[in-house]
Structure formats: C-alpha cells, structure tokens
Amino acid sequence: MGIKMYKVMIFIDGTWLYRTLPRLAEQSGKGEFKIDYGVLPQVVARELAERLGVDPSGIDVVRNHIFASLPTNYDHLDEGLITRQNEFYKLLREDYHYDTELFNIDFRGRRVRQADRDPADSFQPREKCVDIALASKMLYQAAMPFGMDIAAAVLGDRDFTPVLQTVRQLGKRVLLVSVRSSCAQELADPEDRERVKDYDTLWMDDHIEELELRYEPQWLECQSPEHEGERRFQTTYRPRRGEPVYCDACRAAYAQRRVTSVVTSTYEDDDQIDYGPQAGLPVIGETLEGVVEFKKEDKGYGFVTTDDGMSFFFHLSDLEGLDFETLEEGREVVFEVKTLPVGGKAGAARDVRALEYEDEEEPLEG
C-alpha cells in the first residue's frame, strides 16, 4: 500500500495580498513587509499536514498560481515603480516557478499611487479580470480528473464565496489562507455557515515571522574583470539567477564611470556604454533627491521616493533641520543613502534635509 499523497494547488489573489501588506507590516512592527514567496508553499504544506494529521511529506504542492494586475498607460514618473513590479513577477515566475496571470489596468496617464494624484482627481483605476481569472482557473483545476485534491485559496474578498462553494461541490477541499483584518466575515466565520472551507483558516498573521522575506548575509564572489584582491565578500544582496555579481567597490567604480560618461558624452553615445550590472543603483553615501512619500505619524518614520521610484526609509532622527510633525507628504528633500534598496525592499536614508534650489541658496555678495 502506498502512502496517500495530497495534491495541493495554491491560488493567490495578488491584488488583495498587495493591499494587505501594510496590515502585515503594522502587525510585524516594521515599516514594510514583504512576503517570502518561496516559503509560503512550505507553510501551506506544513499547516495542511497538521490539519490532516499526516506527515508533511504526504503533501505535494504541485502548482502556485498568482493573479494580479499591472498598470499600463501610467505617468512616466512611475516608470521605476512599474519596472520593479515587473521584475517582481519575473522573479516569481523564474525563480519560484509560480504561474503568473497579469491583467492590465489603464491609468490614462495618471500616477499609479493615489497619494501621488491630484486630490480633486476622481479617477479610480478599474481592475479587470483578476477575480474571474482566479475563479475560472480554480474551477477548471477542480473539475479536472487528476488536477488537485485541495485548493489553498489565498484571498479575503467575499466575491469568492460562490467559487469556493463550487470547488467543494466538485469534491475538492478548500483551505482558506487569509489575514484576519482583511478577510470578509462570511469567509472568516469559524462556523463556516457559507460552506466555503474544509479546514480551520490558515491565518498569515500567525506566521508573520516565518513568512517575512529576509535577506541573510551570504558570501559571494565578485565577477568584475577589474576587481583587485580577494574576490569573496559578504552581502545581503540576492542576485537574480544568471546576474553577474559585483562587490561594492566595483559597483561604485561603475557608478563613478557612469557619472563621468554622462557628463562627457552625448545621449547617442550613452546608449553604447556598458555601465555594468546594477549600475543604475546609487552607492552608499551618495546624495539623492526625492519626495516624502509616506509618513507614519504615530510611529515616527516615513519613506522618501526618488524620481526613478526607489524608496528609502527614514526615522525622525534622520531629519536635519526638518520637523517631523510638520513635514508634509510630497515635500522635496535631499538625503544621503544609508543602505541600498535590495530585491524590492526599501533602502534607508540619513541626513534628510529640505531641498533648496540654488538660486535661493546663493549668498548675497558685494
């Protein structure tokens, strides 16, 4: 007699999960919270095994689906933000083997974040297809003869009630994976009066520590041809598969070369210069301009975003000559890079000062 294997598929409402991240950030007591998508299937498998009373090796997570939307036709100022979103989904596909289904939302030339738009602008992005795509895929897999035994539904919107009910009517089981503060009551109901699930809900809130994406320092070898000395160095940066690795010194050298070449070349020549990998990133200690993007009044921190969409965390103690209480979102500032953004995680800023235009600064002479 063989051991019974449970085939599990994970279905993630990416839009909902993205909206939910700030809540998880609050609960974790951090400014930002990123999910480790490599760990999520492991947590699902282990928790399911516990609920089924079987060994975790009897749970086979055969596929992860994520459904989300991606802005198009947005303000060019959001280019950096969208590039990072695209890279994130690429990472999910290529490194974590998720099936990603992305749907475009037309932003009609506007900024992607509501906070960046004119408060008088009543525009609301119209999300298309995400719910229906998730529902269709789940039903399809539930109806397939050998598709799956259990659907792990990572979502929280009430709209999914009928699809979860139907999946169960088709003889498959449902594990609801959600976040307490972002889950519709009908789904969360421990008595399950709507008949949407077969097990106790897996609350991501209870696994925050484990689900958080962390960057453990690791040893890498610098691959720059111009590197001098010991090539091994320790870093928290996680290079994408196939991406060449450069140490801080070699990166700084590239960044310096870029600054020089931009000054000394025309834009046409510019395209042909090999800046090297990660050359678009600033270096630690570099002074950058940005705007205050978000401020958490009661916690005393906020984020600054640069023109190309990089985010930097700051604490009120990082402010120089600025008052945290009166500092308004949208305020233009200059700051020094304390740590770099890595893998979509914000960097940190220090010495955050008001941006003063040169003509204001010019001393009176004579």
- Are the CB atoms for 90 and 157 separated by under 8 Å? no
Residue 218 beta carbon to Zn ion: minimum distance, rounded to whole angstroms: 16
45 token code pair: 């498998």
**Residue holding tokens 């090796």?**
57
Residue 75 beta carbon to Zn ion: minimum distance, rounded to whole angstroms: 37
DSSP state letters, 149-193 = SEEEEE---GGGHHHHHHHHHTT-EEEEEE-GGGS-HHHH-TT-T
User: How far is Cα 357 from Cα 359, in angstroms, rounded to an integer?
Assistant: 6
State which residue, 92 or 247, has the beta carbon closest to Zn ion. 247
State which residue, 25 or 220, has the beta carbon closest to Zn ion. 220
The residues, any chain, with a CB within 8 Å of residue 212's CB and separated by 6 or more, are 28, 33, 34, 35, 36
User: In which order are the strands placed within the sheet that holds 173-178?
Assistant: 99-106, 59-72, 6-13, 150-154, 173-178, 202-203
State which residue, 79 or 221, has the beta carbon closest to Zn ion. 221
Q: Would you mind telling me the total number of residues written for the chain in this entry? A: 366
State which residue, 152 or 250, has the beta carbon closest to Zn ion. 250
Residue 338 beta carbon to Zn ion: minimum distance, rounded to whole angstroms: 22
Cα angle 279, 282, 283; round to 5: 100
Residue 239 beta carbon to Zn ion: minimum distance, rounded to whole angstroms: 13
State which residue, 161 or 235, has the beta carbon closest to Zn ion. 235
Residue 68 beta carbon to Zn ion: minimum distance, rounded to whole angstroms: 36
Cα angle 178, 69, 339; round to 5: 80
State which residue, 175 or 247, has the beta carbon closest to Zn ion. 247
State which residue, 221 or 269, has the beta carbon closest to Zn ion. 221
Q: C-alpha dihedral over 283, 286, 291, 295, to 10 degrees?
A: 80
Residue 340 beta carbon to Zn ion: minimum distance, rounded to whole angstroms: 16
Residue 235 beta carbon to Zn ion: minimum distance, rounded to whole angstroms: 11
State which residue, 162 or 244, has the beta carbon closest to Zn ion. 244
Element (H, E) at 325: none
301 token code pair: 């921190």
CA quadruple 70, 71, 72, 75: dihedral sign: negative
User: How far is Cα 174 from Cα 199, in angstroms, rounded to an integer?
Assistant: 7
77 token code pair: 């100022």
Residues in contact with Zn ion by the rule CB under 5 A = 222, 224, 227, 247, 250
- Are the CB atoms for 22 and 145 separated by under 8 Å? no
Within the chain, residue ranges assigned H as helices are 14-28, 40-52, 79-94, 130-143, 161-169, 185-188, 208-211, 248-264, 267-270, 358-361
State which residue, 213 or 252, has the beta carbon closest to Zn ion. 252
